[in-house]
Structure 1
Amino acid sequence: MNRVHSWTIIASLILGIGAVNLFAAADEPSQPAEVAQPPASDGETAKQPAAEQTPVVSEEQLTQWQSGGWAMLQKFCLECHNADYQEAEIDLTPFADVAHAESDPEMWNRVLQMIRFGAMPPDDALLPTDAERSELSRSIDQAIYSMTCDLRPKSGRVTARRLNRVEYNHTIRDLFGVELDLTGDFPSDEVGGGFDNNADVLAMPPMLFEKYLDAAEMVASSVLLDPESLKKETIEMVGERLAIVGEGFTESFYGRIFPHESFAWVEFEIETPGVYRVRVNGSGATDKQQEQPIAVYDGSGKPLLAETFKFGDGGGNHSATVDHEFAAGTFRLLVATLPETPADLSELAAFDRIDRLDEEALAAGRDQFEKSLTIDREIPREELAFLLRKVIVEGPRDFPQEMLPPSQSVIVQRVATKRGNDYVEVERAAKLCLEPLIRRVFRGPVDEETLGRYVGLVKAATDRGASYHRGLQDAITGMLVSPRFLFRVELPAPGVEPDEGGEFRLTDHQLASRLSYFLWSSMPDEELLGLADEGKLFEPEVLANQVDRMLQDPKAASLGSQFAAQWLGLRNLDSMTRDESKFPEFSPELVASMTGETQRLFLDVLRNNHPAGELLNADYTYLDAALADFYGITLPSAADASDANVVDTDDNGFVRVSLEGSPRRGILTHASVLTLTSFPTRTSPVLRGKWILESILGTPAPEPPPNVPELEDAGEDTSSLPMRQQLVIHRENPSCSSCHRVMDELGFGFEDYDAIGRYRGDSDIDASGELPGGRAFTGGRELAEILRKTENARFATTVAEKLLAFGIGRELNPNDRCVIEQIIGLSESDDHRLADLVKQVVVSRPFQYFEAESGVYHESE
């Protein structure tokens, strides 16, 4: 498509939509889709949202805080964090009053993490016992969050969210049923809060819009083929190109005339496959035989056409046509007389004299093709039946059926009639094609004015001399670069006012999109859109049933490849290397198998609604042949499957197998995670412990203090010492000790696996340790079981936080803490089952509501 023409299309569509700033600066996040609200005028009081109101602190709450949490803060923390000596720029003295404690929830969240993590107080200070640490955490948590959770939590402001690369590809796939590599040369999507669907980092710089335009044009030309774009050819066969099997004569103007016993044949080459029009010109051979039925057969003898020709036909030659699909290659057509015209072509049998067209007859005919014919002067017309003037093959008029994409018949509901060089009733035909499509492209209802703009593109194309199908391609391109397609814009419906908290509930169609992009990373299907059309999607039973249905759909595999892969960091495996001399078996293929195992276990736990904690100690896994060999596990044969605990297989060769007798349990002993948390040449207890704290227990480790050397730069040669002794020396620095105290113990628990996750249960490997509270273990399997048993709630909390952030497309803030606590509280009695956590996210306020200024309306208005 001509680029100037493309931009003309885009400009005509974008003007008047205006819901999104398409060209946000490349180095700035996309801005919230909202209109600035002017300050309240004199005498007017702005409504204060409920969650921003200052909570009222009771005398009982104040007493509990001062005798509990505040007393322990004074004992263990105020020596460093006071007004005179503000270590890390934190002064805790103002928070003797619990009402002030609520004013900075982010700071307190960090304090909580440091205390729970064991990083504070440092080793050179007065240290609390495990029981005191737990009580201090509980007291701060209750004081800071219980008051705000008594109020309505805020859902958060809406940001116009661009489809990321995966969402774009999936949406095109589900719109048109085609798999296209559209975003391979797109810039990588930025990541915010661990996920690449974070609205605040999904900007739309002009360069990226150019790529979306290129992709839209590729999609339009792939899902809808234009017959007018086909290379046309006309093959006219006359005279010497008309061969006769049997007796035949050459008449004036080189017509070929033959009796009933003979037949004619032609041979020709087709370069471009497609539907061609075959035209036969001729007449009866004599005026005594006013009508002569004939048939046209293909090279195999199958009848294509039966027609009655008249002698002279009023002074001219009769013409009969049939459309037939040809592939590329060499083809023959046969013309023979019939005793009578059949009532229907289906009654006509295959040509019964095809055997006469043997190699000798073919050679004779082809020899004739190269010579000039001599007109016969004496022709016994009374004995002859048919005069064949010419056979013409024209086309292709359309693509062969097998070349048409499935979307062609879905999109093209009607073709505008062409009279001469002009199309008529274009708008009517185009509307029938585009109306059902645009509803799916824009993921909701579309008004007549908007639809009319795209119908107008089709009319504009035919007015300038382009084909009707080319006009439909222009309309599809326009839709695919519209802000309503490229962005998920959530604004209030026309006339809807915010609730008392200043928030709006999503419309049913907005909920359908949130749901589908959460669970499928793609657009809503017809069932979701239909329920949204009916206004039923918010009904609790309907919504729960839809979540169940969607999780069982194959498209929910994106929760493994998108959500789980990003949460656990599996995407980083693709860029990792290993020392070939130490790990020669490490390869991209093995990495793919590693990633596949973890994603499939996640999907199994999700789809079967097992407890989320099963991810930590599952006694089964999914292996393909390569990973099974790497683990030293024999995959069962098909004959042994029923006896080997095989529950499921997929088309990529993964089999669900039992881990009975294996040293592995859950994702912590997956090769993917163990490789991810190692260096190219060796394991790293620090990396592994840090990963567990952050990704499993939701407690990010603090940044190391300044001027603290790495192990390799510690000032003395410790490289020959075992890793455990190197870290003991490292922890002699009090600034390091507090963090490494827990982190290293977690990491050492998995030292019985090497840097690519291979089990190495050698006797000289010390994989023992002890977590706070006397939780001793030896090896990764025991540690996985301990974490499952003692950290189940913390792990479920981490999963819920990650699910909510991924589902709403933004980083969580302190206000969301109350929502997470509610989700965990509701799921606790049934062991925090994973699909139940997903359902709780879907019904949560941040998922179903958003903040926006009053008077800002949905883009369809």
Structure 2
Amino acid sequence: MTLLMTCSAISAWADEFQQSVQPLLKEYCNTCHSTQKQKGDLDLERFTSMKQVKADPAVWEHTLEQLANNEMPPKGKPQLSPEQKKLLTQWARGTLDELALASAGDPGPVVLRRLSNMEYTYTVRDLTGIDSLDPAKEFPVDGAAGEGFTNAGAALVMSPALLTKYLDAGKDIASHAVLLPGGMRFSESSSPRDWTDEALAKIRAFYARYTWQGGAESVNLQGVQFDTNTGGRLEVAKYLETLQGRGDASVLNARYLETLKKALESTQPSPVLDLLREKYKAKSLNALDVDAWQRVLWRFASVGHIGKKNGPKSWQEPVTPLGTHHEIRVKLEAPKEGGDAKLYLVSTDAGDGSADDEAIWENARVVVKDKPDVQVLASQAVKTPQVIEITVPAASIVKDTELVVTARHKSGSVQVQVLKEKPTMLSGLQSGMASAVIAKGQWSDNNLRTSLSAPILVANGSPARQKFEAAFDEFRALFPIALCYAKIVPVDEVVTLTLFHRDDSELQRLMLSAEESKELDRLWDELLFLSEAPLKQVDVFEQLWQFATQDAKPDAFEPMREPIMRGAEAFKKRLVEIAPVQVQAVLDFAGKAWRRSLSDREQSALRTLHAQLLKQGLSHPAATRMLLARVLTSPAFLYRGEKAAEGSKSAPVSDRELATRLSYFLWSSTPDAELMSQADAGRLHEPEVLVSQAHRMLKNAKVSRLATEFGCQWLQVRDVATLDEKSERHFPTFGSLRGPMQEEAERFFTALFQQDESVLSLLEADHTYVNGALAEHYGLKVKGSDWQRVEALRAQGRGGILGFAATLAKQSGASRTSPILRGNWLSEVVLGEKLPRPPKDVPILPEEAPAGLTERQLIERHSSDAACAKCHQRIDPFGFALEGFDAIGRSRKADTHAVLANGTTFEGLDGLRTYLLTTRRDDFLRQFCRKLLGYALGRSVQLSDKPLIETMITQLKANDFKITTALETILLSPQFREVRGRDFVVSQ
């Protein structure tokens, strides 16, 4: 029925063309626009039938504009009567409307679209995950086409020079590829050293999620004082506070928290844990109680000695304060109040009762360097509990004086101490203190020793010793002093063979799940792979061996030779084994970059290319990166190719092609995994799925690109951040404000899309987004300097795009405002009017108004010229209404009264806004819809799109003007979802 009505209507317009229009064209138009003259490249004489009119409707769209602007016929030529002009206008408009309905939904011409510079940049960033990459920085600037956007296919040409730049950019991007044992990732840096540092940082960040970064110990290494053993600590305090009702369990490791809870609430006897349990029951247990025992039962070894002959087994070593005898050393200082010093040799029951507990104190002596020892006690056997008081004459105490005594086991289990204060309690197990002592020897020796202040004397193999050892093991299993060696790179050695040290078994045992341990293993594997540590250790070993032969014992390192050499050989073998994995990673990347699956032939070609590069002498990493550069310079990546349907009819694009259309519309980039999964499942073409994905994508931060590439480009403010045309003498602050000016517009449009705001908010919004500097520029009071949303803007004389400093500054001169530029911008860009070009001989206005004239008076004098008056009557009033803002958008007092050609008057921004939202609302909506559609389709809006635009406007009005209404209408349209058939021809 619709087709019959359309054909009937067109037939009626055909009759009118023959009977009325053609005679008018012959009389008033063909004199200048004949086939022979073609003034302005326009030939109207060739239109002798409706078939020819239908074949070129663009000519009649242009003719309508000329008639509306009173430019046709030109002055000095015979003019149409009002009735004739009305007839010609109605015929042209009616014919075009019917043609639009007849071809409604036409997807438009198929153009092979290259990625624009920004699409290329965004795509590379999303594919690599590196936002700092700027691969198009040396590319020539993209031109605009279609509806004025740089994503229009008609503007995206390829030249030999640009192709060369693509090749260079592809190589540069590939230089950021980091080849890994399991494939490939990308880095901000192209330096292998930086890649290693990144791998280190990832492991440290992993450790930091579970550990406390404090706990440093001071070390003096060859006269250099620094902290070591920092980080990786078990944050006991927070766990104890939480279990005792004073902390937040949500920030702690649930697995360890439960383990600790069970241990502290257990009734299984344990000499050490029982001491903690008593305090836990009273809710008085704190980290210091645990720390005291940690320092006695653990010590940190020197990482550089691990693996050497007689060296430590690990960085965190258990210490057992048990033995048959122990030498105790106490530094002596003369009492401040004078007199002799008193010391107390204390023997207690170690908390297990005093039956049969006996010990012997031997050879207690005062020791001073370079002086004979002075014995104060030869030998004395004691039963527990007992205290022996020793007096040391003050005269014997000088600098570095020590009391040295040996305690020896006789029977039972005895804990011994030397105290400077007489004890008040002589029962119970005491933690005492432990300190690390560096024994004399060569640098290659393992010289670390532990000195205990409260050792326990027991017989080897006795039941008492076994009981204490079990108790200490229970404590150490629950409270390691560190969970991991967070420094990774040893710093406590003058000379060390260890490049990276891994010690995180306690972290894995107490806190990590199987998946977390697997992730940690992967991170360590990447670190060792990227650093080539197994190969470098060979060189370090040889150097260290040579160094040790000079003044130490090289045989101490001999046990390390074979493991190091074996590790290097295994690493070389692995490099060969994983090469195909890395090539496959490039092929997988190609599938993402090309936005489709690779054919078997394409995969084979890429593998062959890699093999050829190896034959040419390139190393595997170099050949793999060259292969990656090839992927990034392929037409499959640089162009958004679509397969046209067979035949002449339009047909739906594939789901993958639809995903690409949607992603480049909303994100100016390649589809993400979620979108592509819907496409691969064959569901994206379903309307509800397509709309759902669009809503998801609009919430993503990447929609800010739509704000910039569509919103800011439409308003012509996308380049304000680099605008350098303002007079620094007149506007010294502009340079620092131009970035925030553009960002305001970007943030405003981003919120429009993300929060599904009204399209009319572009004109009537009572809010905007400012940072501290821009707020000061606007005269707004805000807290802080960060970006924030501010309300009640209309009360401040602003609101909407007309009050943006970016739009006001862009449409001004270097040192003064320009009502002409602002009015022309509002008329053409915001309202979509078509204005004639200014006459060629229009005088250029001075940059500054002459003395005695305001800027407005200067414009009014200029506009009074008869040749200019018609256009200026249309645009100047808009500009005059915005004179309340200077050339960089600051508020000022000025004459903002405006009178339109039809007599309509309004005052300032508020009056202009009201006029636009009432009298011109539909014009604004139509322009917005036209621009959004043109941007979405990447082409000029054509006659067949007119019904879709009218539908968009109707839907907006019915849905509170919500932006998603316009977006959904576009997404569900044939124009967006279909492609012309291969044999399509424009209907004649």
Normalising by the smaller structure, the TM-score range is: 0.5 to 0.7
Distance 1:109 1:603 in 2: 34
1:188 pairs with 2:156: no
How much has 1:325 moved relative to structure 2? Answer: 8.8
Return the alpha-carbon distance in structure 2 between the equivalents of residues 397 and 126 of structure 1: 100
Distance 2:578 2:770 in 1: 59
- SS of the residue corresponding to residue 296 of structure 1 reads coil
How much identity, in percent, do the aligned residues show? 28
Q: Which has the higher contact order (CA 8 A, sep 6+)?
A: 1
Q: 1: CA distance between counterparts of 2:85 and 2:761?
A: 28
Cα pair 1:506 1:850 within 8 Å, conserved: yes
Q: Equivalent residue of 1:224, what SS?
A: strand
Q: Tell me the equivalent position of 2:628.
A: 476
Counterparts of 1:774 and 1:527, CA distance in 2: 56
Partner of 2:885: 753
SS in 1 for 2:558: strand
Q: Does 1:156 find its partner at 2:309?
A: no
In the TM superposition, what is the alpha-carbon distance from 1:822 to its structure 2 partner? Answer: 3.9
Q: Is 1:607–1:835's contact at 8 Å kept on the other side of the alignment?
A: no
Q: 2:630 and 2:981 mapped to 1: Cα distance? A: 28
Aligned length: 658
Equivalent in the alignment of 1:146: 98
Cα 1:123–1:754 shift into 2, 3 Å:
farther
For the pair 1:555 / 2:666, whether they are aligned, the reply is no
CA distance in 2, matches of 1:176, 1:508: 24
1:306 paired residue number: none
**Structure-2 change in CA distance of 1:63 and 1:452 (3 Å):** closer
Contact 1:685 1:744 in 2 (8 A): yes
Report the CA distance shift for 1:90/1:225 in structure 2 as closer, same or farther (over 3 A).
closer
What residue in structure 1 maps to residue 732 of structure 2? 584
1:485 maps to which of 637, 642, 649: 637
Verify the 8 A CA contact 1:506 1:849 in the aligned structure 2.
yes
Partners of 1:226 and 1:470 within 8 A in 2: no
Letter in 2 for 1:830: N
Shift of 1:393: 12
- Residues 370, 618 of structure 1: alpha-carbon distance in 2 compared, 3 angstrom cutoff: same
Counterpart-to-counterpart distance in 2, 1:801 and 1:528: 26
The 1:96–1:612 alpha-carbon spacing in structure 2 relative to 1, beyond 3 Å, is farther
Residue of structure 2 equivalent to 1:721: 853
Note if contact 2:583-2:624 (Cα within 8 Å) is conserved in structure 1. Answer: no
Residue 166 of structure 1: which of 115, 118, 138 is its match?
118
Q: For residues 329 and 214 of structure 1, what CA distance do their matches in structure 2 show?
A: 41
- One-letter amino acid of the counterpart of residue 142, structure 1: G
For 2:571 and 2:551, locate their aligned partners in 1 and report how far apart those are by CA, in whole Å.
41
Following the alignment from structure 1 to structure 2, what is the Cα–Cα distance between the partners of residues 751 and 396?
Answer: 80
What is the aligned counterpart of 2:661 among 508, 511, 514?
514
Is the aligned partner of 1:497 residue 2:646?
A: yes
Matches of 2:577 and 2:46 in 1, distance apart?
Answer: 79
What amino acid sits opposite 2:828 in the alignment? Answer: E
- Counterpart of 1:810 in structure 2 is 939
Q: Does 1:437 align with 2:589?
A: yes
Pairing partner for 2:677 from 518, 530, 535: 530
Structure with max Cα Rg: 2
Equivalent position to 2:836, from 702, 719, 727: 702
SS at match of 2:314: strand
Deviation at residue 389 of structure 1 after TM alignment = 3.3
1:548 CA displacement: 1.0
Distance in 2 of aligned mates of 1:397 and 1:623: 62
Deviations 1:542-563 (A, max 9, x none): 1111111111111010011211
Offset, 1:331: 3.9
Please tell me the residue identity of whatever aligns with 1:212. Y
- Give the AA of the match of 1:662: Q
Given that 1:118 and 1:739 are in contact with CA atoms closer than 8 Å, whether structure 2 keeps it comes out as: no
The separation in 2 between residues aligned to 1:116 and 1:109, in whole angstroms, is 11
1:791 equivalent in structure 2: 920
Cα distance between partner residues in 2 of 1:128 and 1:773: 22
Alpha-carbon contact 1:119-1:738 (below 8 Å) kept: no
Kindly indicate whether the alpha-carbon contact (under 8 Å) linking 2:959 and 2:965 is maintained by their aligned counterparts in 1: no
Q: Could you say if the C-alpha distance between residues 712 and 327 of structure 1 is closer, same or farther in structure 2, counting changes exceeding 3 Å?
A: same
- 2:427 corresponds to: none
TM-score scaled by length of structure 2: 0.58
Superposed CA offset, 1:366-417 (max 9, x none)? 9x979945999xxxxxxxxx9663656999999xxxxxxxxxxxxxxxxx99
Q: Mind listing any 5+ residue stretches in structure 2 that lack a counterpart?
A: 185-190, 196-221, 223-298, 320-484, 498-504, 511-543
Q: What secondary structure sits across from 1:571 in the alignment? A: coil
User: Greater helix share, 1 or 2?
Assistant: 2
Which of 945, 951, 968 in structure 2 is aligned with 1:839? 968
Letter in 1 for 2:170: A
Q: What RMSD over aligned residues (CA atoms) do the two structures have, in Å?
A: 5.0
Structure 1 segments unaligned to the other structure (5+ residues): 1-49, 233-242, 244-262, 269-277, 284-293, 304-322, 336-342, 349-365, 377-385, 399-415, 638-650, 856-861
Cα distance change, pair 514–220 in 1 and its aligned pair in 2 (3 A)? same
Residue aligning to 2:775: 628
SS of the residue corresponding to residue 423 of structure 1 reads helix
- Secondary structure at 1:751 match in 2: coil
Aligned to 1:389: 558
* Bigger Cα displacement from structure 2, 186-195 vs 826-835: 826-835
- Secondary structure at 1:548's aligned position in 2? helix
* Matching of residue 297 in structure 1 with residue 314 in structure 2: yes
Could you tell me the TM-score, scaled by structure 1's length? 0.65
What is the aligned partner in structure 1 of residue 804 from structure 2? Answer: 670
Alpha-carbon distance in 1 for matches of 2:162, 2:682:
36
CA distance 1:729–1:527, shift in 2 (3 Å): same
1:201 aligns with 2:370: no
1:746-781 Cα shifts (integer Å, max 9, x gaps)? 2111111111111112xxx32112335543201122
**Mapped partners of 2:666, 2:903: distance in 1:** 40
Show the counterpart of 1:569: 716
Residue 612 of structure 1 aligns to a residue in which SS?
A: coil
Pair 168,421 (structure 1): closer, same or farther in 2 beyond 3 Å = same
- Mark the CA change 1:672 to 1:421 in structure 2 (over 3 Å): closer, same or farther: closer
Shift of 1:821: 3.4
Secondary structure (helix, strand or coil) at the match of 1:389 reads helix
- Paired position in structure 2 for 1:223: 177
What is the CA-CA distance between 1:697 and the residue it aligns to?
1.0
Change (3 A) 1:118 1:780: farther
Q: Return the alpha-carbon distance in structure 2 between the equivalents of residues 771 and 70 of structure 1.
A: 33
Contact 1:444 1:529 in 2 (8 A): no
Q: CA deviation at 1:61?
A: 4.6
Matches within 5 A, 1:397-412: none
Cα distance in structure 1, aligned partners of 2:154 and 2:172: 28
